[in-house]
A and B are shown apart, each in its own frame.
Chain A
Amino acid sequence: MLRASQPIAITKMKRFIGFVKKEFYHIFRDKRSLFILFGMPIAQILLFGFAITNEINNVNIAILDKSNDAETQKIIHKIKSSPYFNIENQIDKESDIESEFKKGKIKAVLIFEPNFSKNLETKKVAIIQAITDATEPNVANTIANYTSAIIQNYQAQKKQSKSNQVKVEVQTRMFYNPELKSVFNFVPGVMTVILMLVSAMMTSISITREKELGTMEILLVSPLKSFQVIIGKVFPYIFLSIINAIVILTLGYFVFKMPINGNLFLLAFESILFIISALSLGILISTVSNSQQTAMMLSLMGLMLPVIILSGFIFPIDSMPLPMQVISNIIPAKWFIIIVKAIMLKGVGIQYIWKETLVLIGMTTIFIAVSIKKYKIRLE
């Protein structure tokens, strides 16, 4: 059986490579899995991204009225009743602006200059300042445009002469607000969800497919060791997930102007770490599933839902009830999102995220250990 002339190590390597080769064949010959691997992530990113940036309904804003006269009141009333804006708060002083942004509920502050009505009559120009979050240049412009539109409408109604101009000036402030539903929030979130879903789901499906087809029996009754099978199954998906991550980040950077302020290598390292944790979850799922359908359902229900709901991706963790906040700590996605945002948006180095990284490493190790333990070397 074994060639006497060939060293055992080479045989083992050839064996492993033979297995990985087969896995790549499976992936590229199955149109459905190709679609999930590549099509879905791209589709999702684009959908989410565009859906968010173009959304201008019920944008939360705050108002700082320095004049408090009849004119401003009427304009504010008009803004209130429009479907585009939702006045979250009305503040009294400029020093409140920062705290309003920090609270995380508003996207912009509209400041009416003092002596608004008087300026309109005498100088023929009055200014409304729109202060927005620096991380959303598109939104800022959109808000300015809509505000102008409302005002023009108001003026037309009042039959004010065209010489009376109300200018809306847009000023942006360098505020980074992590709780806002912005594109910059979504790209890390979507990347996490997709990596988790694709890695975990694809791996678990790949392993259970062997079980379903009966080829797992043959693999077991062969010199292939369990860990070779697992690693062989996982290897192509690590590779493909990395490509996916790169595609998502590239899209985020070029299409949505998302910054990557931090170290690319650190980002790569953390991403690979997360991919491995997702893959090991996939292996874990496969040890308890006997059919591809079960694996898919478990991946979707057991992974995707918790990830979307509890990772801080859509719903801020701080606003969740305490028990859910506690549970969110065991979701690897939560830690990864913190890490990614920190690296991409804040540009920090490992010294700021070592805690989260350690948590992720710990989780990954546990998942791998449990998977190996649960991996059955027999059929029952």
Chain B
Amino acid sequence: MSIEVQNISKSYNKIKAVENITFDVNDGELFGLIGPDGAGKTTIFRILTTLLLANEGSATVAGYDVVKEYKAIRNSVGYMPGKFSLYQDLTVEENLEFFATIFGTTIEENYDLIKDIYIQIEPFKTRRAGALSGGMKQKLALCCALIHKPKVLFLDEPTTGVDPVSRKEFWIMLKRLQKKGITILVSTPYMDEASLCDRIALIQKGKILKIDSPENIINNYEKIIYDVQAKNTHGLIHDLKNYLSQYSVYAFGEYIHYIDKKADFNPNDLHDYLENKNHTDIVIKPAVITIEDVFMDL
């Protein structure tokens, strides 16, 4: 077990940030904490990286207790906090050198680990970190977190606010790192990134809703979701919500995701209903279920 969390709870001024959090991360696993802002992801990260003390519960990282053996954890993990904290007025090279020196190593020693990532920013190595684009800052921050070859890597919302191309590249890099045996705990509000993890924990308002692999989560979801579309989207939502047996109606881009309460629901009934409401260009078909759908129903 790389990371073990048991019944962790943490409150700030009587407001519960996280409550009764329990999960494990196996060696070499890519584990995702998926949830929106305010769900408690950063609090969990800070407890595991020994920056905060939990009010209740216990946790170990790489076998060390987060309270009693915090120094050992601080010496050995890689941490990338939100906003990729870098030194804006130091250059790319200087930032990397700094973190290498702090961890008692050099850039050369573990270069093979960061090489794939670093070559993308190497042309800018004399540029100040503050002048880099979001995607490049992200890559630099990742290099700085990896430079000392940590066994466990904590990445708190590394893809937030970054363009889609960089986001995709980042996850490819993570997968490669995973192959080198590093355990990675990532948090993200992007549900589509969830499917790239080995296992995920869905978290909302300080509580874990579900822990499993993305595939299992989708496969185990029992309800049927329908894509519904009509020319007048606004009216469609309104009418669907007024349909007697509706369970949930949510906009999902082009289509509306509709779930019915009845087990023996017949889409044709819905079609008739909508026609009666003078909708045109009606489309009703089974939808591909996503993590987001499951999340919203929890």
Contact = CB atoms under 8 A, between A and B. Distances in A.
Do A and B touch directly, given a CB cutoff of 8 Å in the complex? yes
Given A14-B104, A215-B85, A3 B109 contact: yes
Contacts of B209: none
B88 interface: yes
Q: Which 4 A-B pairs have the closest CB atoms?
A: A18-B101, A214-B85, A11-B104, A215-B85
Contacts of B49: 217, 221
A37 B159 CA distance: 38
12 contacts: A1-B75, A1-B148, A3-B105, A3-B109, A15-B102, A15-B104, A22-B94, A26-B87, A214-B81, A217-B85, A221-B79, A380-B53
Interface in B123-175: 144, 148-150
> Which of A21, A215, A217, A224 has the largest count of B CB atoms less than 10 A from its CB?
A217
A174 interface: no
Nearest to A11: B104
Interface string A175-216: 000000000000000000000000000000000000001110
Contacts of A220: 50-51, 74
A93 interface: no
A323 interface: no
Interface in A26-48: 26, 29-30
B79 A223 contact: no
B89 A25 contact: yes
B213 interface: no
Contact of B75 (A17, A19, A223): A223
Contacts of A218: 79, 81, 85, 99, 144
Given A215-B87, A223-B102, A378-B53, A1 B149 contact: yes
Contacts, number: 94
Interface of A: 1-3, 6, 11-12, 14-15, 17-19, 21-22, 25-26, 29-30, 213-215, 217-224, 378-380
A1 B53 CA distance: 26
A379 B51 contact: yes
> Which of A6, A218, A222, A378 has the largest count of B CB atoms less than 10 A from its CB?
A218
A30 to B, nearest CB: 7
Contacts of B255: none
Contacts of B90: 22, 25-26
Nearest to A215: B85
A88 to B, nearest CB: 56
